[in-house]
Chain A
């Protein structure tokens, strides 16, 4: 009885979640709906992964794997949670695995390379002076290092909170913990970031 009620609630929630509705259509064999989901979530997922692993090529490779897993799971998909919660749970899992695999000196080298690439792109857009370019580059590098220095869960929580604008409850579902735990994670994370970045502005 309880199970049926839970299931009904999940189905009702899916009705409100347009992404879940699209995914249910993908389950029924509608490839176009998968295209819509891909178009909508391609950038947020890739940007989240980029900030997690701090390497664009790896981030895109992981994002491909995220969408591939979504597609593979279409036949067994059940809208038991918000679609983005499920999506970012897959992305987080892959990012953390990738970080654990790459935790060596090479990752630091890539971090430096990417930092230069990103600042170069920024320079092209805004045409700043040499001094501004250097300052911006230093600032970005510091932000990247500060984020990279956070413990894994704190990093995931901050990136989801700041850049994906997720609510505490959704971050909690992605990280499989309580809302209170997320608040605590974020508090500690921002405390560390205040210590490292507050002097920058």
Chain B
């Protein structure tokens, strides 16, 4: 076996051995080499020491109120409208579709009925108007028309007055 310490790439394998990341076969090969190579033995020994030193550095436990503070921050970002609507949202989501469908059907029905009813109403209104006209009203109307016709004829017959000059 070529000494792994010779190149960085191979030394990375030695590092992987020290951190327990090699498979059994490769680890056994490195172990055999270490027994006869003082340089690699020193490398492995020092790496183990580093590993142990790092193990001694424990992190502190997370504060008990970590979640409470986080949820407070999350809550602060939710709008007042969302907060009011929250209890109703799920129920609304469940019922929204059938309610919307019913509302659409009702609107369409009203529109259709309204459309069919309109022409009948107009015809009815016209006939009522005709029935309510009296004969004397018709006579008066004819008289007014005749008077207007005579007035127009007179206006056409009269010559226009000359312009006055200073």
Question: Chain B residues near A143 (CB, 8 Å)?
Answer: 53-54, 56-57
Q: Tell me, rounded to whole Å, the shortest Cβ–Cβ distance linking B67 to chain A.
A: 6
Question: Chain A residues near B52 (CB, 8 Å)?
Answer: 200-201
Determine the distance from Cα of A71 to Cα of B67 in the docked complex, in whole angstroms. Answer: 13
Q: Are B63 and A60 in contact (CB under 8 A)?
A: yes
Which among A43, A47, A140, A163 is the interface contact of B56 at CB below 8 angstroms?
A140
Q: Is B110 an interface residue (CB 8 A)?
A: no
Given contacts A68-B74, A143-B54, contact A186 B62 (CB under 8 A): no
Q: Is B23 an interface residue (CB 8 A)?
A: no
Q: List 8 A-B contacts (CB under 8 A).
A: A64-B73, A187-B15, A190-B50, A194-B46, A198-B46, A200-B49, A200-B52, A201-B53
Q: Name the CB-closest residue of B to A34.
A: B74
Determine the distance from Cα of A194 to Cα of B50 in the docked complex, in whole angstroms. Answer: 6
Question: Chain B residues near A121 (CB, 8 Å)?
Answer: 60
B contact residues, range: 20 to 34
Within 8 A of A (CB), among B47-69: 47-54, 56-63, 66-67, 69
Q: Is A118 an interface residue (CB 8 A)?
A: yes
Q: Is B70 an interface residue (CB 8 A)?
A: yes
Question: Chain B residues near A162 (CB, 8 Å)?
Answer: 51, 54
Q: Is A161 an interface residue (CB 8 A)?
A: yes
Given contacts A197-B49, A198-B50, contact A46 B62 (CB under 8 A): yes
Q: Is A153 an interface residue (CB 8 A)?
A: no
Q: Is A50 an interface residue (CB 8 A)?
A: yes
Determine the distance from Cα of A139 to Cα of B46 in the docked complex, in whole angstroms. Answer: 16
Q: Tell me, rounded to whole Å, the shortest Cβ–Cβ distance linking A114 to chain B.
A: 8
